[in-house]
Amino acid sequence: NNRSSNNSSNNNNSPTKEQRQQTMEHEINLWTFDPAKNNVVFGSALFGWGFTATSLARALFQQNRVPLKPLQLRPYIFGDYKYNADTQKVLKWKPSSTSAASDNYNNMPIFAEFGLQPIWDIYQGVATASQAMGQASALLATNSSFGGSGGSLYNGNNNDSANGSSSSS
């Protein structure tokens, strides 16, 4: 009788398989980065700026660029979704089959259109103004790996040759 009571008390102290599984899932969730969970910051320490999916969604809502409340928009910001201003709906994004820069500029996912493109435009403007003043910077140079080849930061496909550059490994 004494053995069975000791045995049951030991079983009560050690976690069950289900408890271990829940603990492991909890640990994985803690260490999984996901912009939709708002635990990812996109930023530049060098230039002193940063934003999260929530802060971008909030800014887009407050500026009346996207009429969705931030918590509704946040899950779509880093995914393959596009905002259609005409219908005011978020749609599944599909890459454009054309290679025209204007088509790619108008067919960007939400993050590329509202998060990356404004940053690219600012850096491009600063680089152009710096060059015009004779203060060109290698960091902001148009042909650097940072500055790209000009135009849209997002070209609609992952092929480097589409934006005029080529690389070999």
99 phi, psi to nearest 5 deg:
-110, 5
pLDDT the model gives residue 136: 75
- The residue with tokens 């680089």 is 127
Calculate mean pLDDT across residues 98-116. Answer: 76
Taking the C-alpha atoms of residue 123 and residue 100, their distance in angstroms, rounded to an integer, is 22
Mean of the per-residue pLDDT values of the chain: 77
What pLDDT does residue 11 have? 53
pLDDT score, position 158: 40
Alpha-carbon distance of 101 to 126, in angstroms, equals: 21
* pLDDT greater than 60 at residue 160: no
**For range 148-152, the mean pLDDT:** 46
Q: What band does 30 get if pLDDT is binned at 50, 70 and 90?
A: confident
Q: Which of 3-17, 20-34, 48-62 has the lowest mean pLDDT?
A: 3-17
At residue 152 the predicted structure's pLDDT band, cuts being 50, 70 and 90, is very low
- Among 113, 99, 102, residue whose Cα is nearest residue 157: 99
